Amino acid sequence: MSAAGAVGAVPAPSGRPVAAERLPLRPELVGVQPYGAPQLDVAVRLNVNENPYPPPPEVVSDVARSVAEAAAVLNRYPDREASQLRTALADYLGHGLGPEQVWAANGSNEVMLQVLQAFGGPGRTALSFTPTYSMYAEYARTTSTEWVVGQRRSDFGIDVEAARRLVHEHRPSVVLLASPNNPTGTALPLATVRALLEATRSAGGGVVVVDEAYAEFRRAGTPSALQLLGGEQRLLVTRTMSKAFAAAGVRLGYVATAPEVVDALRVVRLPYHLSAVTQAAATALLAHADTLLARVDDLRAERDRLAGWLVGLGLPVAESDANFCLFGGLPDRHAAWQGLLDRGVLVRETGPDGWLRVSVGTPAEMAAFRTALTGVLAAGSPGTRSDQTDRPDQTDPSVPLPAGLEAT
């Protein structure tokens, strides 16, 4: 019997948009497809920015021991404040932070959703700058928050003066800034964050969220917005353990901010939102931060080799402070994506038209990617154009990227 026909087999997602013929669905959800990158069984998966290195055996043993201790009392609800975990997160972040300044949830996705639940909502606006993480728009939609976007510059940075004008025009209650940005890998200067904090303050006092999901992969000398937290009550800096900590399966995200903001997020959180197992696993992983982060240096070096190789092919490459590279020069990027997939390598079709994003993998995985891309380009279907350095259309900052250009 095939896997599809096996007893108890779970059918694959249909991929169909949500219909409303027999359901009282919210109008804005009609026709919407669930978010998600392709999950395909291929030899080399470089499409969702996972850490390619699993935790080493000694870390696995410690996590298993901590989870076993939690399992012995699964009949009881977990610590709803995640006190031990938040203390460990604050210690990891440093910058004089205490546990009262840190909040944790099921991935940074839930943190962001809680931010929009607390500070967004009907009659309020959230603002960001495309191309960026496409889930931001979904958080806004889910919370009935108006969604406004400006365009990034041709180098994928943010034009500060244009951003100030947009803030004063729309008076957002939430500004979302990814740094390093997904899908481009671009990090923002602290001066840009300061400028948007000041603009938001003068426009009515919204909060500014700096999404640092990829912060541990920054190049030397690239600052973190954590440095600005001291005197900024309305600044939130989000992080995740999915990437640098090789813990995508744990689903643990967190935010550093003022205690008053943490209290606001506690109001909208679901009861016991972090399981005892999640808390135990994440706390154990944090105890091995030095061991786990040692691999980050390897991934940075691999990223820089990858970027240099792509440039050597004559392809435009966005400067990256993350664990991926966005590269362009592809007149038919879907054909290029399919050609890579046909050769056993899965990357992400995301960002501006003509560009693809590739996660940094092991040396063997990157060798497979280089071989596959060389074959795709040699086949001539997508080709390369030395003059193709086109970026997102800069003419209308209110227009988001087309649907389907998701970034995980």
Q: What is the pLDDT of residue 23?
A: 86
Beta bridge partner(s), residue 147? 126
Residue with tokens 């664990």: 323
d(CA 401, CA 134): 9
Is 341 inside any structural domain? no
In a domain, 65, yes or no: yes
Using the structure block, give the residue that is written with the tokens 């996972």.
50
Asked if residue 47 belongs to a domain, the reply is no
Cβ atoms of 180 and 322 within 8 Å: the answer is yes
Confirm whether 352 is domain-assigned: no
| Residue labelled with tokens 């606006």 | 125
pTM score, two decimals?
0.89
d(CA 352, CA 324): 15
Residue 271 falls inside a structural domain: yes
Report yes or no on 347 lying in a domain: no
317 DSSP assignment: B
Q: Helix or strand or coil: residue 199?
A: helix
Secondary structure element (H or E) that encloses residue 208, with its range: strand 207-211
Q: DSSP class of residue 348?
A: B
- The dihedral of CA 404, 371, 156, 179: what is its sign? positive
Split into its structural domains, the chain has a count of 1
Separation CA 125–CA 160 (nearest Å): 19
**What is the domain extent for residue 203?**
57-289
Residue-by-residue pLDDT tens, the chain, 408 positions = 333 344 444 555 556 666 557 789 999 888 888 888 888 899 999 999 999 999 999 999 999 999 999 999 999 999 999 999 999 999 999 999 999 999 999 999 999 999 999 999 999 999 999 999 999 999 999 999 999 999 999 999 999 999 999 999 999 999 999 999 999 999 999 999 999 999 999 998 899 999 999 999 999 999 999 999 988 999 999 999 999 999 999 999 999 999 999 999 999 999 999 999 999 999 999 999 999 999 999 999 999 999 999 999 999 999 999 999 999 999 999 999 999 999 999 999 999 999 999 999 999 999 999 999 999 999 975 444 433 334 333 333 333 333 333 445
Residue 38: its pLDDT value, please? 84
* Residue 247: strand pairing partners: none
- Looking at the domain assignment, is residue 228 inside a domain? yes
Compute the distance between CA of residue 316 and CA of residue 385 in angstroms, rounded to an integer: 10
Residue 26: inside a domain: no
- CATH code, domain carrying 256: 3.40.640.10
Collapsed DSSP state (helix, strand, coil) of residue 218: coil
Task: Write the DSSP string, 160-187.
Answer: HHHHHHHHHHH--SEEEEESS-TTT-PP
